[in-house]
Structure 1
């Protein structure tokens, strides 16, 4: 069965996505900057309010590039430690989403290793910083070696369809060692094509709609995509 992950920016949009049938949520702040770490209050209320969906928390102290300074590394480690201490009354599967690059666009293995060790038993996804890495096939092996659970990628292209051949190659390289989550321009009208061309078993997207002057999650689009992804 295809897993559908929806990127959300607050608790109300998280509740909409869960009600619409999403399997997993990526909870972020500041989606205009590509997503940053949400407040601990947001995470705490989300874990208290959601009932069944899996949750991944973005760990990223700022927008911009993916080079992590020593102070930023400390902030990220502190955020992971704080998230691990939050109550999880409904026993949701909670994980974190991290990424870090060196100045020459390789994975910053030292920083990522610290993040993954700090996460302990929590599942870890390496986010789309991965799409700036030159040799993605070699990087898959590195991510596996670090002990991450998944990688989020569009195959270094603008959309998952444009990067479909690379995504298929990454999935083949990863095998059963690492989950490859397809992302980038996925919607209900093209998700079947994405799944067919990439062999992906998991997809990630925002489903934005403007309501009351701000971005919200389009529950109808999430429902349509879930139905389409599962071939019903």
Structure 2
């Protein structure tokens, strides 16, 4: 197995996708509306990004800010969104929802599984708000396609979550710990050496790829700096 770390970059459009790819990104997380921490893009945006780059694209399934999927109508809308994106050719996704008690929303996951039909997917940072991280992993252990957890280790970000991330990295192979860790959320370059030393192979950047802020496109040179750090 390659020891090369995976670098995933948040993209909002085809311009971002091309810049991230040229900087050395291995994969994109495609979203819209970062003011709400990333919502589902339109099928048209996905189609433009898919045509622009040859690297994998994981598409956000999320219609409202927060970590709840909402009521039956909202969940039905989410399922329709997934169906439209699948029809456009999307085959990798990102989502994660909690119920009112901080446990994984298994009903919504099951509804989406019926549409995604074995597609690979990331459970995103809802895990950092879960009542029981270990319990969540074990409850989702047999869900088809789940191969990654996007996590900072804590709701406050990687600074606070680093001990949790290092501990979870050491549990690879235990029930619920087969999915890869994809570390993101306040991630900085100085976090990379301890995480790499612990065996973490997935890194996710958003704001770090845009030194001028979210109103500006991804910077290829910023992505390249991360690529070099991960390859060092």
Provide the C-alpha distance between the structure 2 equivalents of 1:101 and 1:225, rounded to a whole number of angstroms. Answer: 31
Counterpart check, 1:105 vs 2:105: no
For residue 30 of structure 2, what is the aligned residue in structure 1?
Answer: 27
What does 1:122-137 align with in structure 2 at a 5 Å threshold? 122-137=119-134
What does 1:161-180 align with in structure 2 at a 5 Å threshold? 161-175=159-173, 177-180=178-181
- Choose which of 44, 49, 54 in structure 1 pairs with 2:47: 44
Is the partner of 2:169 in helix, strand or coil? helix
For residue 200 of structure 2, what is the aligned residue in structure 1?
Answer: 200
- Would the aligned equivalents of 1:155 and 1:164 in 2 still touch at CA under 8 Å? yes
Change (3 A) 1:118 1:81: same
For residue 74 of structure 1, what is the aligned residue in structure 2?
Answer: 76
- Would the aligned equivalents of 1:5 and 1:203 in 2 still touch at CA under 8 Å? yes
Unaligned runs of 5+ in 1: 89-93
Provide the C-alpha distance between the structure 2 equivalents of 1:43 and 1:8, rounded to a whole number of angstroms. Answer: 10
C-alpha displacement of 1:195: 2.5
- Structure with larger RCO (C-alpha < 8 A, sep 6+): 2
- Choose which of 149, 152, 170 in structure 1 pairs with 2:150: 152
Provide the C-alpha distance between the structure 1 equivalents of 2:185 and 2:131, rounded to a whole number of angstroms. Answer: 18
C-alpha displacement of 1:99: 1.2
- Would the aligned equivalents of 1:140 and 1:174 in 2 still touch at CA under 8 Å? no
Is the partner of 2:18 in helix, strand or coil? helix
Is the partner of 1:221 in helix, strand or coil? helix
Pairs aligned (count) = 223
Provide the C-alpha distance between the structure 2 equivalents of 1:108 and 1:214, rounded to a whole number of angstroms. Answer: 33
Q: TM-score, normalised by structure 2?
A: 0.88
C-alpha displacement of 1:80: 1.4
Residues 57-105 of structure 1: CA distance to partner in whole angstroms, max 9, x if unpaired? 00101223424221121111112111222147xxxxx401111111111
- Would the aligned equivalents of 1:116 and 1:124 in 2 still touch at CA under 8 Å? no
Change (3 A) 1:7 1:56: same
Provide the C-alpha distance between the structure 1 equivalents of 2:53 and 2:27, rounded to a whole number of angstroms. Answer: 11
Provide the C-alpha distance between the structure 2 equivalents of 1:160 and 1:113, rounded to a whole number of angstroms. Answer: 30
Is the partner of 1:61 in helix, strand or coil? coil
Q: TM-score, normalised by structure 1?
A: 0.88
C-alpha displacement of 1:19: 0.9
Provide the C-alpha distance between the structure 2 equivalents of 1:8 and 1:109, rounded to a whole number of angstroms. Answer: 28
- Would the aligned equivalents of 1:98 and 1:115 in 2 still touch at CA under 8 Å? no
